Amino acid sequence: MSTSERLIESTRELLWERGYVGTSPKAILERAGAGQGSMYHHFKGKPDLALAAIRRTAEEMRATASAVLDGPGTPYERIAAYLRRERDVLRGCPVGRLTMDPDVIASAELRAPVDETLDWLRERIAAIVEEGKEQGQFAPGLDGREIATAVVATVQGGYVLARASGSPAAFDAGVRGLLSLLAPRTP
């Protein structure tokens, strides 16, 4: 792995663990096993490196979600698979956690990949809900965008509840509750 790749990966990990303020250039260099001038050789500085790391994290989240949402099954089954997919619930969402970082939110440039990724996810889920409505699987009165927002809010809120309690049980309960509300009705 190249030095720039090690710097990006180290920054991704540190942002997830410590947030932007808690991620010092020194910590990045130590984690990456890189020399003192390495960051400035490859990046303009910490904000530039953080942006590369946030973009990479956002791309990874999209790829992971796409693999499930574009997978086999009915619209309900694909949404259920997304909600139930393997996650490190107690660690939280690497993208969602960035929304709690005041320095990321204060920077339009750092916030953009986070916002774009969450928008993409809501749009993708909304399209699946609309597909399910067309197939008669979901009630015709459901609003795909509202359901998609509820799905994302359940995941992100589930992370918060699980972290607060130190147990994935709250996350799992939120997922079960939402899926029971979305479950296709049989005549």
Q: Is pLDDT at 37 greater than 90 in this prediction?
A: no
Query: CB of 110 within 8 A of CB of 46?
Result: no
Nearest CA-CA partner of 147 in 132, 162, 169: 132
Nearest CA-CA partner of 83 in 165, 172, 181: 172
Give 63-66 contacts, CB < 8 A, sequence gap 24+. 65/121, 65/124, 66/124
Q: Is pLDDT at 122 greater than 80 in this prediction?
A: yes
- In one letter, which amino acid is 80? A
How much is the pLDDT for 79?
Answer: 98
| Residues 6+ away with beta carbon under 8 Å from 118 | 95, 96, 152
Q: In angstroms, how far is CA 58 from the centroid of its own chain? A: 7
How much is the pLDDT for 35?
Answer: 87
- 40 confidence band (pLDDT: 50, 70, 90): confident
- 1 confidence band (pLDDT: 50, 70, 90): confident
How much is the pLDDT for 39?
Answer: 86
Q: What is the mean pLDDT of residues 102-115?
A: 94
Nearest CA-CA partner of 95 in 76, 118, 79: 118
How much is the pLDDT for 187?
Answer: 59
Taken in order 73, 68, 135, 180, is the CA torsion positive or negative?
Answer: positive
Nearest CA-CA partner of 148 in 175, 129, 131: 129
- In one letter, which amino acid is 91? R
How much is the pLDDT for 162?
Answer: 96
Highest mean pLDDT among 95-99, 155-159, 181-185: 155-159
Write out pLDDT tens, residues 13-24.
Answer: 999 999 898 999
The encoded tokens of residue 90 equal 């107690």
Q: What is the mean pLDDT of residues 165-176?
A: 97
Q: What is the mean pLDDT of residues 36-42?
A: 86
